[in-house]
Structure 1
Amino acid sequence: MKKIFWFLALCPLALLSCKDPGKQNSTEEKPTDSLEVRVDTQMVKLLFPEGKDILTGGDGAISISIDNTKSFWLWGDSFLGEVKDNKRDSTSQLIIGNIWTLLDSDKVSTICGGSPQKPESLINIGKVNGNIAFLWPMHGFVKNNIVHVFMSVIVRTGDGIWDFFWHASQYYRLSYPDMKVIDMLELEAPFKNKVHYGFGVFEDNGYYYVYGTAPDGLAAPLHVARAKLINDKLNEWEYFDGQNWDKDPTKTKAMAGITVPVSEQFSVFKHNDKYILVTQDRGIRTDGIYTFVADKPQGDWSNPKKVYSTPELNLGSAIWTYSAMAHPQYDVDGKLLISYCVNTHHLPDLFNDVSIYKPRFIRVPYSLILNK
């Protein structure tokens, strides 16, 4: 049985506005160069306040806007529990799957299954073909008090850090605010075209666009599908074939103009009359965060920019960064909030230094992204 545990905390350091959530996290103290990328230190304080039995670390950092003051934040593998002197107790459990938080202005709450003593993923799947499986969060939207969210089905094959594989994409609907699962649909298209649909979801002119990569080694071309919301459910799917939209998912073609391998987790969203792709270069030891711009949801993409190099790779060979995501609902002063995840191959470090397993945030000027 899924339960919602509310652990509220106030972060006095944030610059807050109930009417403009983007103002929550401004770190600007004086005018700066219009093309300067700035580190934002306030969002992580909002999402990971001090306390007990709340989220203390996780990856993913996927946000879904609810309204102008609230957003869901979805996390993959996560830690809950007490932290002292930047260390977590050795008994702290790493929760494999999906943990959610609700950020409402300056208040954050943890949403999960199980109990505070034994927390579990909010949505579980059990086993697939006899193997342990779990759900990693992707992206979605909230409409008419229904949360629409995509999940990756991940299947365990052993005890090693890389002993798993992507199995399927599932589309869930949950009632809001009680977060009970209404239904689930396993997408058929990925089995036919090998595209991992579920990221970069947004509505535009009556269609909901859903993006995904088709991994082939380190190559991962980007594809897009679209659907209509009919009776509060996505239906009438179509797939971009390079020229037009086709109901046959096998006709999908990769979008043109993207010059880096897109990471499994990425963002696509509309900004004014442009469409923006934010991705981190795919791979373990890559530091580049890139943006691309298009005039249509299906591309072609152009104006590639390496907007940031993550500095954490300089800390040692065990550290890596990945999964850059955009959070346009937190725009402030013409700057886009982008997160990226940090992790380590050396598991004890996650207990000895809690700060490692938390996302980092930067603010990137739209002028840097859009200017040619």
Structure 2
Amino acid sequence: MFDRKGDGWTGGDGTLSVCLKDGRTVWLFGDTFLGKVKSDGTRPKETPMIRNSLVVQTDRRLDTRYRQTEKGPAAFFPGAFPDTWYWPGDGLAAGNKMRVFLNRFRKSAPQLWAWQFTGTVLATLSLPDLELEGLDETATVKGVLFGVSVLKTKEYVYIYGTRDDAFPKLACLARATTGSLSGPWEYYTGRGWSADPKHSAPILSGVSTQYSVFQTDGLFYLVTMDGRGPFPDTIAVYRSGSPGGPWQGPRIIYKVPGVGRDVVAYNPFVHTQFTEGHRYLISYNLNHVSNPSAVYDDATIYRPQFIWVDFAVIEQRLFQ
């Protein structure tokens, strides 16, 4: 479905998703290519690239959402200043609203990959039309990208974050009562919960910038690139009996083909609305780390990849 040649989205990363009550899925992408892909699989050099987009799936039809300005296509979630932008995190839908976490960045130097994280906001979209209603700052922890994964239970919404400036990267956790996602939050301290963000403590080391947490059969699973070393090429899973751990693992569940020194895999995400029994759909992203022209020369590099993982088999073979 995402092997597209034109008329909207032709490539992007992030690849998170939110399921709506009417059966649609809203795919959330970061840097997004629009326009057309040539018959030889290349992108024209003038192909528009915007900082974020939505792709709305209705059955097998995909509809790209972004803003159209006098200067051309623009990000669905607009940055407040020319050198700032938002990359989407996870989100959820409740009632007639959809909420999406956005992590804000700014350009810190002219070099490739030179950016700085500056904070997290919570976007509100109306349903069913998906019109942007507002962006609200969140009370966050310095250096932690909150909202990379969101897990809703009966009592709480658990908001997972990443300390992205650490190596290995560290997972953190906050929670909000159901219906009060804007706050106030409580932060996991390692022993309990505190209303003071300064008491936030890591729950796990070695995660990717974005990872995914879901619950099934009374257990919590955290799916991530195996971030214990640089440029990982394997996807790992941890499990726990509670949202904050302690976590058992990692267990390696997939080795990504075709990655190496130049092409990297990153930020796996579990799309639970497409579950088939114990089989879960997992996406991951690919990009070229040293040659910006590579994603123009080969459009397939910068598109989501998908795998099915049977967690009943994972449980039986890797956690027994």
Give matches, 1:47-196, under 5 Å: 47-50=2-5, 52-67=6-21, 69-85=23-39, 86-95=41-50, 97-114=51-68, 118-127=72-81, 132-191=83-142, 194-196=143-145
TM-score relative to the length of structure 1: 0.79
Pair 135,221 (structure 1): closer, same or farther in 2 beyond 3 Å: same
Shift of 1:190: 2.0
TM-score relative to the length of structure 2: 0.92
d(CA) in 2 for partners of 1:281, 1:350: 24
**Aligned match of 1:319 in 258, 263, 266?**
263
Q: Deviations over 1:256-303 (max 9, x none)?
A: xx4x51111110111231111011133662101110111111111114
How well do the aligned residues superpose, as a CA RMSD in angstroms? 2.0
Shift of 1:334: 2.2
- Structure 1, 292-301 or 212-221: larger mean CA deviation: 212-221
Pair 122,284 (structure 1): closer, same or farther in 2 beyond 3 Å: farther
Q: Deviations over 1:189-233 (max 9, x none)?
A: 223xx3221121021022111000123432222111110244x65
- Structure 1, 293-302 or 215-224: larger mean CA deviation: 215-224
CA contact (8 A) 1:103 1:109 kept: yes
Pair 265,60 (structure 1): closer, same or farther in 2 beyond 3 Å: same
Give matches, 1:247-262, under 5 Å: 247-255=195-203, 258=204, 261-262=206-207
Residue 307 of structure 1 aligns with an amino acid whose one-letter code is I
CA contact (8 A) 1:75 1:100 kept: yes
Give matches, 1:201-216, under 5 Å: 201-216=150-165
Q: Deviations over 1:12-39 (max 9, x none)?
A: xxxxxxxxxxxxxxxxxxxxxxxxxxxx
- Number of the residue aligned with 2:247: 301
Between the two proteins, the alignment pairs up a number of residues equal to 314
Residue 146 of structure 1 aligns with an amino acid whose one-letter code is K
Residue 200 of structure 1 aligns with an amino acid whose one-letter code is S
d(CA) in 2 for partners of 1:177, 1:113: 18
CA contact (8 A) 2:141 2:198 kept: no
d(CA) in 2 for partners of 1:271, 1:108: 29
Shift of 1:161: 1.1
- Number of the residue aligned with 1:16: none
Residue 112 of structure 1 aligns with an amino acid whose one-letter code is Y
Give the secondary structure class of the aligned counterpart of 1:234.
coil
Is 1:334 the counterpart of 2:282? The answer is: no
The answer for unaligned runs of 5 or more in structure 1 is 1-45
Give the secondary structure class of the aligned counterpart of 2:141.
helix
**Aligned match of 2:175 in 226, 231, 235?**
226
Pair 276,68 (structure 1): closer, same or farther in 2 beyond 3 Å: farther
Is 1:241 the counterpart of 2:189? The answer is: yes
Shift of 1:118: 1.9
d(CA) in 1 for partners of 2:60, 2:11: 18
Name which structure has the greater RCO, CA cutoff 8 Å, separation 6+.
1
Q: Deviations over 1:81-105 (max 9, x none)?
A: 111211221211222x211101111
- Structure 1, 317-326 or 283-292: larger mean CA deviation: 283-292
Give the secondary structure class of the aligned counterpart of 1:370.
helix
Is 1:267 the counterpart of 2:212? The answer is: yes
Instruction: Pick the structure with more helix per residue.
Output: 1
Residue 160 of structure 2 aligns with an amino acid whose one-letter code is Y
d(CA) in 2 for partners of 1:201, 1:333: 22
Give the secondary structure class of the aligned counterpart of 1:60.
coil
Instruction: Pick the structure with more strand per residue.
Output: 2
Shift of 1:62: 0.8
